[in-house]
Amino acid sequence: MTIQDKPTGVALWRQVADGIERGIADGRFPAGEKLPGETDIAETYRVNRHTVRRALATLAERGLVRAERGSGTYVEAPKLSYPLRSRTRFSEIVGAGGREPRGQLIGSLIEPATRELAKNLGLKTGAPLLRLDALRFADRTPICVATNWLSAERFAEAAPIYERVRSMTKMLAHYGIKDYRRRSTRVTAAIVDASDAAKLDLALGRPILIVDSTDVDADGTPLLTSRSRFAAERVEFVVENG
């Protein structure tokens, strides 16, 4: 009992947890930054280190902080709230959260359509597809790896264009496509593989959200189909009902 001497009915660990949470909320402890060490926190709150640990444990359970043994405890970025609606644009969604969207082309190649890809795009199995692999960021934090398949015939120059404009929406605009919408969205989850882990700067064994989707133009003609892998700890999908 050092914060106040009279019993308040509010446990010390709770007071410490609330104090730290307030610090995160108001930016005294920015996302990604290291918190003071447990010993330091214990000292500033004049409380035992175990009490601080309990406070941090509740915050970690809620995903607000992440402890790294031997290194420190870090503020987790608040999850990006990602609405799943028919008009889904990564750049708009990220921008709406006050963060800067960024895309980076990490690979492009031509490959023949599997049966499923062909079905999604309304093409024949084996038709040539342009595959674009992109890494997408909110500010400097990688959010997802997206693999997009488009008709190689219709969108022959898509790769260099995407590389320049760094936005799917703008790239499609180059082909005269003013608007498009999501025809289908399927969400599942898995454990990240080594390749994606490296791209997303994610520890092995962490969960990812996998979104399979197909975008169509105003007439319903398929434009592209894609599989995106999101770092689960950085996003939160919001399904809007109604």
Partner DNA sequence: TCAAGTTGTCTATATTGTTAGACAACTTGA
Partner DNA sequence: TCAAGTTGTCTAACAATATAGACAACTTGA
User: Could you tell me if residue 88 is left (phi over 0), alpha (psi between -120 and 50 degrees) or otherwise beta?
Assistant: beta
Q: Cβ of residue 83: shortest distance to its own copies, in angstroms?
A: 23
- Which residue ranges make up the site for DNA (CB under 7 A)? 1-2, 7-9, 11-14, 35, 37-40, 46-48, 50-51, 53-54, 56, 67-73
Rule CB under 8 A: say whether 14 interacts with its own copies: yes
Q: How many CA atoms lie within 13 A of 128 on its CB side?
A: 8
State phi, psi for 182 to the nearest 5 degrees. Answer: -85, 125
Given its own copies, DNA, none, residue 40, with its beta carbon under 5 to 8 Å by kind, binds: DNA
Q: Cβ of residue 22: shortest distance to its own copies, in angstroms?
A: 9
Integer-rounded Cα Rg, in Å, for the chain is 22
Closest to DNA by CB, 52 or 216: 52
Q: Cβ of residue 24: shortest distance to its own copies, in angstroms?
A: 14
Rule CB under 8 A: say whether 26 interacts with its own copies: yes
Question: Which tokens is 185 given?
Answer: 């969205």
Type of residue found at 168 = M
> Nearest-CA neighbor of 209 among 181, 184, 179, 233?
233
Q: Which residues bind its own copies (CB under 8 A)?
A: 7-11, 13-15, 17, 26, 58, 163
